[in-house]
């Protein structure tokens, strides 16, 4: 097997929130990942997309998936399992058992590193531009065969905002966000930070946001909220002169 050859970092992805999945079956999956000698394990919540076979089955009531609260419990179970077994938490969804697994791609891309995209559905960014390749595999093949770039979309990033957004994104990913470095008005976030701490999402209510495991589960929501609020806080004030 790949593990026995001992020549590369071997990492697997585990999905939680699958139909019929519960704490027992999830625990069995975690135990298998532990026992086969992997270098790393990634824990991802199932994303049910509309118009897919699973999405339609859920919508029609032919199957059910765990609720958000149940998915949170499965994530926390996974965090505790990995911690108890001595795995190193690299980011919100990634754990390493050996030094081979460092998850550099995921960490660096969130810090704003250039990334080249290859293949159908891949996304990349370089020199202030972000793009995504065509997701439809047939269309992608046709574009390549015709000598055309198989781009689905391309956009120019707002360079003025890029650095603080990268700092925010990478900070949330590693559960530590120095808000004072992102905005000179961080103290205005105090009510929200206090509420997050009260709900168990952060270790304290300071402007250096440090997420608990519960907070890490809600990382995408926290990122979206802070992104919107900091953008407003950093917007230049409009001074209107009286006639």
Q: What is the DSSP letter of 115?
A: B
For residue 158, what pLDDT is reported? Answer: 67
Q: Dump strand ranges (E) for the chain.
A: 11-16, 40-45, 88-91, 94-96, 123-126, 129-133, 151-156, 176-178, 208-210
Question: Is 0.85 topped by the overall pTM?
Answer: yes
| pLDDT single digits (tens) 45-104 | 999 989 899 999 999 999 999 999 999 999 999 999 999 999 999 999 999 999 999 999
For residue 176, what pLDDT is reported? Answer: 98
Q: Which CATH class is domain 2-102?
A: alpha beta
Q: Position of tokens 């001074």?
A: 239
| pLDDT single digits (tens) 97-114 | 999 999 998 899 999 899
Domain ranges of the chain: 2-102, 107-157, 161-233
């Amino acid at each position: 097997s790949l593990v026995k050859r001992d020549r590369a970092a071997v990492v697997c992805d585990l999905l939680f929130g699958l139909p019929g999945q519960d704490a027992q079956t999830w625990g069995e999956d975690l135990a298998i990942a532990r026992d086969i000698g992997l270098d790393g394990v990634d824990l991802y919540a199932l994303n049910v997309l509309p118009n897919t076979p699973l999405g339609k089955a859920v919508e029609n009531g032919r199957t059910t998936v765990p609720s958000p609260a149940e998915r949170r419990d499965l994530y926390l179970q996974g965090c505790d399992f990995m911690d108890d077994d001595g795995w190193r938490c690299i980011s919100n969804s990634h754990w390493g058992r050996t030094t081979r697994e460092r998850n550099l791609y995921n960490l660096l891309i969130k810090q704003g590193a250039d990334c080249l995209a290859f293949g159908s559905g891949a996304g990349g960014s370089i020199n202030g531009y972000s793009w995504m390749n065509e997701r439809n595999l047939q269309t992608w093949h046709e574009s390549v065969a015709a000598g055309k770039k198989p781009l689905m979309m391309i956009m120019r990033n707002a360079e003025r905002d890029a650095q603080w957004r990268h700092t925010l994104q990478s900070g949330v990913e590693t559960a530590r966000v120095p808000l004072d470095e992102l905005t000179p008005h961080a103290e205005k976030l105090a009510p929200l930070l206090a509420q997050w701490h009260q709900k168990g999402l952060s270790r304290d209510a300071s402007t250096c946001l440090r997420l608990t495991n519960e907070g890490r589960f809600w990382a995408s929501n926290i990122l979206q909220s802070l992104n919107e609020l900091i953008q407003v806080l950093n917007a230049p004030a409009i001074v209107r002169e009286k006639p």
